[in-house]
């Protein structure tokens, strides 16, 4: 008997990454508008904005597609406050669409062989992510869909990680009768590991410090 009914992966930073990275894309968009800010500063602002708008009080608020869109508007505004007011809507829509394109994303090299092996062993495999309606087409275009049984996104579950309701609702959608038989794997300790464990799941923290980090983390499954 397999130790888990479902192996559930986070998406960004775990299975896939923006290519080029998000800060570089923001920097490119800013440069086109004549904004001269160092990419290191852009990276710092973006990280701070993500913490502000995904953690703390914001993690307790319900979400949906419209809320996620507005959340990202605030993140862009905090990251590139130099954007002129009359250019903001156009710039935001272009950035939003940029990250909807599969060409903006790449799978880590160890993802397909690891996920395919888990499927061959009989596990059900899901993705559970703080994402929105853009994710399923990206997963399909990257060639991952044949190995994924469910895609659970915060904008549809109604809450984002690290809110425990994200995991409770995800478990309901997976029709799990025993949350101890759900294994969450992700690169964010608070949202992917601590929160999952508090919701009764098992969890493993992925640290991408080598090319085959996911392969090694899942080797015993």
Where a domain ends, among 103, 134, 155? 103
Q: Give pLDDT tens digits for 122-140.
A: 999 999 999 999 999 999 9
pLDDT at 115 over 80: yes
Total tally of structural domains belonging to the chain: 2
Report pLDDT digits (tens) over 71-80. Answer: 999 999 999 9
pTM: predicted TM-score of the whole model, two decimal places: 0.95
CA angle 169, 137, 14 (to 5 degrees): 65
Domain end marker among 48, 72, 103: 103
Question: What are 43-85's pLDDT values in tens digits?
Answer: 999 999 999 998 877 778 899 999 999 999 999 999 999 999 9
Mean pLDDT, to the nearest integer, of 100-110? Answer: 97
Of the candidates 43, 72, 103, which is a domain's last residue?
A: 103
Instruction: Flag whether 190 is in a domain.
Output: yes
Residue 67 within any structural domain of the chain: yes
For the segment 204-213, the average pLDDT, to the nearest whole number, is 97
């Amino acid at each position: 008997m397999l130790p888990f009914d479902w192996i559930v992966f986070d998406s960004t930073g775990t299975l896939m990454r923006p290519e080029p990275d998000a800060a570089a894309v923001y920097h490119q968009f800013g440069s086109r508008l004549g904004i001269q800010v160092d990419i290191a500063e852009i990276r710092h602002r973006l990280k701070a904005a993500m913490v502000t708008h995904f953690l703390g009080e914001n993690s307790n608020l319900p979400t949906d597609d419209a809320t996620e869109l507005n959340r990202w508007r605030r993140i862009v505004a905090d990251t590139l406050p130099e954007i002129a007011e009359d250019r903001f809507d156009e710039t935001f829509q272009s950035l939003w669409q940029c990250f909807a394109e599969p060409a903006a994303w790449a799978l880590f090299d160890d993802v397909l062989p690891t996920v395919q092996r888990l499927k061959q062993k009989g596990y059900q495999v899901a993705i559970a992510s703080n994402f929105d309606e853009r994710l399923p087409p990206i997963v399909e275009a990257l060639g991952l869909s044949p190995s994924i049984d469910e895609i659970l996104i915060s904008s549809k579950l109604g809450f984002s990680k690290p809110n425990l309701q994200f995991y409770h609702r995800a478990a309901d959608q997976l029709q799990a009768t025993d949350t101890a038989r759900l294994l969450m794997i992700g690169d964010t300790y608070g949202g992917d590991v601590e929160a999952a464990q508090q919701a009764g799941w098992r969890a493993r923290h992925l640290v991408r410090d080598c090319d085959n980090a996911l392969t090694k983390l899942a080797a015993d499954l």
